[in-house]
Amino acid sequence: FFQKTLTAVKSWFTLFGWSKGQNPISVPDSLRSDVCIVQLTISRGTVFKRNLDREKGFYAMLRHLSGQTIPGMASSQTLPNDPVERLFHLLWQHSELLAFLKSHGACLSHVLPEFLLTPEDYKVWIQVHTELKVGSGSQRTSCRVTDKSFFILEDSTFETMSKRAWTDVLLQIYKVFVLPRVSSRLIAGSSSLESMPNMPRIKSEPLSSNIYSQYERAMLVWLNRHYEKNRKIVWKDSKKGGIPPMRWIVNFDRDLQDGLVVAAQMATYCPYLIPTHFVKMYTNARTHEQFLHNCLIFVKALHSVHLDIDIKV
């Protein structure tokens, strides 16, 4: 599940994350190399000045999606030659990044700044923290305050943790800066769920759910509305199960896995795909093979209207 999530995240940010075209990324390697560059300062022995406004840098992507810059972080910065000083500068930078995202509603309390470092910098972090721990009395006192969040991870474990941390950072960037673009008009109008009898309601108020945001619930309302509106139209001539039953769509994975809900959405905007594609779908799919059959038809429908997004079934 995590690998599929990671693949989807990389695909979306590669295609849509930057203002001037596609920019292939890898998680966490390319992100860490962009915000945690250390090799150049070590090998050349010179101060390395990096521009945070680079066209295809991580912070350029963040500024493009959020329309903001991180307070207190200059457009360019000089990383010190000294490995320890550079480490603390990067930790400050990552702390500011996490604080900026949290201030906009991101759920990142489980991500620590050191998880965003490169493996080389993380080893320096362990060395520095260990030296502080065995240092003077005042240093030991300071260190005890941070011991609760200090982890010594093996190389492979750190790499897994770092990959998960960067993935969660990207997911939360999408959640707090991209999803809010969902218009409230999606749940307005005479064709809303209020006009459909026996259809359970999904509240769109900000505090009505501790799982989905207001904008995610707006999308659920949109999915419910178009599925209920179109299921009797799209599959009225179905030879593979007849008209599908009414359903209440409350999540974005299990309720969408048979392909019918997303097909109903697409049929709203491309009704000419109904006789050529969607009528061939199983309307009461039970097996993995039937799920795959439906999803392959949906992907072919996307390709037929030239929405050639890199979707893998």
Interval 95-112: pLDDT, tens: 999 999 999 989 999 999
**Res 143 pLDDT > 60:** no
Q: Do both 75 and 196 map to the same domain?
A: no
What pTM was computed for the model? 0.73
**Residue that wins the pLDDT comparison between 21 and 305:** 305
**Residue span of the structural domain in which 50 resides:** 1-134+150-181
- The reply to whether 52 falls in a domain is yes
**Residue that wins the pLDDT comparison between 75 and 278:** 278
Q: Do both 154 and 206 map to the same domain?
A: no
Q: Do both 118 and 226 map to the same domain?
A: no
Q: Give the pLDDT band of residue 176 (cuts 50, 70, 90).
A: very high
- The reply to whether 144 falls in a domain is no
Q: Do both 52 and 33 map to the same domain?
A: yes
For residues 192-198, average pLDDT: 55
- The reply to whether 130 falls in a domain is yes
Q: Do both 113 and 169 map to the same domain?
A: yes
Beta bridge partners of 116: none
Residues of the chain above pLDDT 70, percent:
74
- The reply to whether 313 falls in a domain is no
- The reply to whether 312 falls in a domain is no
Q: Give the pLDDT band of residue 42 (cuts 50, 70, 90).
A: very low
Q: Do both 27 and 58 map to the same domain?
A: yes
As for how many domains the chain has, the answer is 2
Q: Counting every residue, how long is the chain?
A: 313
Q: Do both 2 and 107 map to the same domain?
A: yes
**Res 192 pLDDT > 60:** no
Q: Do both 76 and 165 map to the same domain?
A: yes
What does the pLDDT read at residue 138? Answer: 44
